Every structure is written in C-alpha cells, then in structure tokens.
Structure 1
Amino acid sequence: IADADTIDETNLQRQITFTEADIGKNKALVMQGRLKQINSQTHITAIAEFLDEARLVELANAADIILDCSDNYPTRQAVNRAAVATRTPLVSAAAVGFDGQIAVYRPDLPDTPCYACLFDGEQASDGTCALFGVFSPLVGIIGTTQAAEALKVLTGIGTPSHGKLSTYNALSGKWQQYGVRHNPECPVCS
C-alpha cells in the first residue's frame, strides 16, 4: 500500500478503513495496521512516500498486479507507465461525484490497450474529490468491483474484463461498458 497522504476529516465518509482517531496520520500506515487487525496472517508493506517514476517501476516489477486507487490524473498516468514498462496487469478505478469507472489493463498480453490509449496525456484534469465531492456508497461499489477484477486476473477465473471501460452512475444504479482498443500510436504502449 503506497500513499504519502495523511488522513483528513473529509476522508472519513468514504474511506472506511479510517476513524476520527486517525486524522493526521499517514493513510498507508493506518491501513496496514487496520488490515493486520482483521487478519494477522497477512503480509502488508506500507510505503508512506510519494513515488517517483523509478520507484513506481521498481515496485511494479515486484508485483503480480497493480490496483490504482489514486485520485488524480497525473498519478494514474504514472502508474500506467510503470505497469506497461514492467508488463504488470493494472486494475484502475476512480470515483467522483456520483460517477465511477473501472478498467482492467493487461500489458502482459499482446495488442491490449493501456490507460493512455483511452485517456491521452492531453487531458489534464479529472476533478478531485475535495473539489467535487464523492457519494460515499459509490466508493464501496467501485472498490469491491476493482477487487473482484483483480482476483479474476490473479486466479484466471471468470470472463476477462480487459479492453473495456465500465462506468457506474450511483443515481441511476446503471452500469455501462465501452470497448477500448489498443492505439497503435499510443506514446506509452506502442
């Protein structure tokens, strides 16, 4: 778990691992402790630092899969570059307002799209939770879907979800899926 950020009161409504007593503490360290309380047999490394590109590649190289739960576009692009560079599967999820999205990227498979194929480097802002807010149940829906997709990749069960962008609107309760193709001119994966 990598996160240099500290817990803020505004996180509590959607980041259920944390409590009021955790405000001001590092997110990765608190989450590590909380998960160890749930299951003491787990092995969790907490990385309480901002990760530059070289460190992202180093960590991605040691991972079986990457779950991107970041809340900003530049970080998502950097995580994608590390996943592509190391050919590590990536499950990317995001939520803002009442809308969430999830996609599985498989740089370990030939001719599959990456995050940059879908969201090119020209898109500079996707809005932050602090600015636009996020409907707290939405984070749980997107997060559990992200976990399911990661487990499907790791275990090889179910229908592969790569090559698709799934979006969910919490107000309508509806999912939509869009096909995503590999961009032969993508600056990251081509």
Structure 2
Amino acid sequence: MNELQLERYSRQILLPNFDIEGQQKLMNARVMVIGLGGLGNIASCYLAAAGVGHLTLVDDDVVELSNLARQVLYKQDDVGVAKAQAAKTQIAQMNDEVAVEVLLERLDEASLAQRVTAYDLVLDCTDNFKIRQIVNKLCHQHKINLVSGAAIRWEGQVQSFLFAEHSKICYQCLYPNLNDTNLNCSQSGIISPVVGSIGVLQSLDAIKILSGCGRVQHAKLRVFDGFDGIWRDINLTQDPECVICT
C-alpha cells in the first residue's frame, strides 16, 4: 500500500480490528453488483469509496428522468445513457484506483454461471425476481457470499447469505413463490431515502464480509418501515421443501 492509499483510507485503517490488513482485503476484493438502480447506485458508491479493488456493474437499462429522484449517482446529462456506463464514469471521478467493468446486458443463468465464480461477493440490487432466483442459486452452488436488498413504497429489506460458510437457508427459503407480477416501483412508487438506507446497509455488510471485520449474521432479514421509522429483525429458517439448499 503506497502513501497516497494510506492517506485516502486512513480513517478506515484507524478502526480497531480493521487496520491495514482489512483495507488490503478490500483492495484485493472482486464484487459483482447486479442492478444499478437506487440500491446499486448507493452501494457501489460506498464500495468504491471504501477501496474495493474491482467492481463489475451489471445492468441493461438506461437512465430515465424518473430515475433521478432516487438514483443519485446519475446526473441530468446522463438521461439516455446506459446506467452501468454512467455509474462507471462517476465512480472513476470518485476513486480512479478502483477497476470498474461494465456489463450492459441482463445476464441469464448460463452467462452468469460462467462469470460468478470470479467474484468474492455478489450484491443483488435488482428488482427482477427471476434474476434474484438465479443469483441465489449460483451463489449457493459456488459458495459465494450474497448480499440482497429490496425497496418499495416506504419499505425496504436487506439480508446477507454467507454461503462460503453456510449451506442451509437461502433467498429461495424466504420467497419460494414470489414472481415478477408482484409490486415494483414503477407501479407502486418509492420514497428515495428508503432506497438509500437499504443500499448503505448492503455496502456495510459487504465491507464487513470482505474485510473480515465486524459481525454479519447469515440469513437475518432486516425490514425497514420508513413511514414509521421502525426496524425489525427476523431470523430466517430453512424451508424444508427448498429446491436450492435442502
């Protein structure tokens, strides 16, 4: 680690149990962020700022005017630009030491299976349930840690699955029958700080997992009611009929 890096990350390095070793682990880490909407916006910003060495940003969508109220990484001039590419541009201005790869496509199971093993951790920031199922399946299969978030209206939730250590309980256990006909932001609305709150927590869990500093509990569902300002923690249990982890 050079002198500029020591200065850039000095406040993190000062933390007990984190130190240079934790920072070096972040700098050596490879993270895939799937979905560059509101969640992926915030999470990727914090991961880049914290010094995660390699980010792969996956999204096949373009920036729309209606995105700007909650997807704060984008600027007005980005409307019409591919989200992942616009995010890469902004991240480069934030921390040019982070290697950023963009995939301007919606990955199917075959293409994701070819790529996912190259990463230490996956952030599920998508609003597509079919993709969530595929990501969960492949992360469980290849023992890759997964941090999943979601937000709608005034509510949000985040859960981390430490598949590198645990084989029981996965995202499929939580939502075995959910499908893409369910609620989405374009139909039901969303208040932007709720998205930000969940994205921040995703990045925090990711940083703790990657650095080995701090406690992250496998399969704990954290639910946020932004309207009333209430958090609830729920310990998930394994679905005995889960097709992924039983």
TM-score under structure 2 normalisation?
Answer: 0.74
Code of the aligned partner of 1:63 = Y
8 Å CA contact 1:57–1:85 kept in 2: the answer is no
For 1:123, the equivalent position in structure 2 comes to 178
**Structure 2: gaps spanning 5 or more residues:** 1-56
Q: Give runs of aligned pairs for residues 35-184 of structure 1, distance below 5 A.
A: 35-120=91-176, 122-124=177-179, 125-184=181-240
Secondary structure class of the residue paired with 1:44? strand
Q: Is the 8 A contact 1:96 1:129 kept in 2?
A: yes
Distance in 1 (CA, whole Å) between partners of 2:152 and 2:166 is: 32
**Are residues 126 and 154 of structure 1, via their aligned partners in 2, closer, same or farther at CA, if it must alter by over 3 Å?**
farther
Q: CA deviation at 1:99?
A: 0.2
Structure 1's 128 and 142: CA in aligned 2 closer, same or farther, altered over 3 A? Answer: same
Counterpart in the other structure of 2:83: 27
Provide the rounded CA distance (Å) in 2 between the counterparts of 1:61 and 1:111.
Answer: 17
Q: CA deviation at 1:21?
A: 0.8
Q: 1:161 Cα shift?
A: 2.2
The two structures, once aligned, show a CA RMSD in angstroms of 1.2
Please tell me the residue identity of whatever aligns with 1:137. Answer: P
Question: SS at 2:100's partner residue?
Answer: coil
2:58 is paired with a residue whose SS is coil
What TM-score does the superposition give when structure 1 sets the normalisation length?
0.95
Whichever residue aligns with residue 106 of structure 2, its letter is F
Q: How far apart are residue 50 of structure 1 and its match? A: 1.2
Encode CA deviations 1:46-81: one digit per residue, 9 max, x unaligned: 111110101212222111000010012112112111
Q: Secondary structure at the match of 2:140?
A: helix
Does the 8 A contact of 2:160 with 2:205 survive in 1?
Answer: yes
SS at match of 1:30: helix
C-alpha displacement of 1:182: 2.5
| Deviation of the 1:156 alpha carbon | 1.6
Alignment: residue pair count: 189
Letter in 1 for 2:193: P
Deviation per CA, 1:153-177: give whole Å up to 9, x if none. 1112222221210000111111101
Shift of 1:188: 1.3
Q: SS of the counterpart of 1:45?
A: strand
Letter of the structure 2 residue corresponding to residue 182 of structure 1: Q
Identity over aligned residues, as a percent? 33
**Distance in 2 separating the partners of 1:61 and 1:126:** 30
Decide whether the 8 Å contact of 1:107 with 1:113 is kept in 2.
Answer: no
Distance in 2, matches of 1:59 and 1:42, equals 19
Provide structure 1 residue ranges, at least 5 long, that are not aligned to the other structure. Answer: none
Measured after TM superposition, the shift of residue 186 of structure 1 is 1.2
Q: AA paired with 1:186? A: C
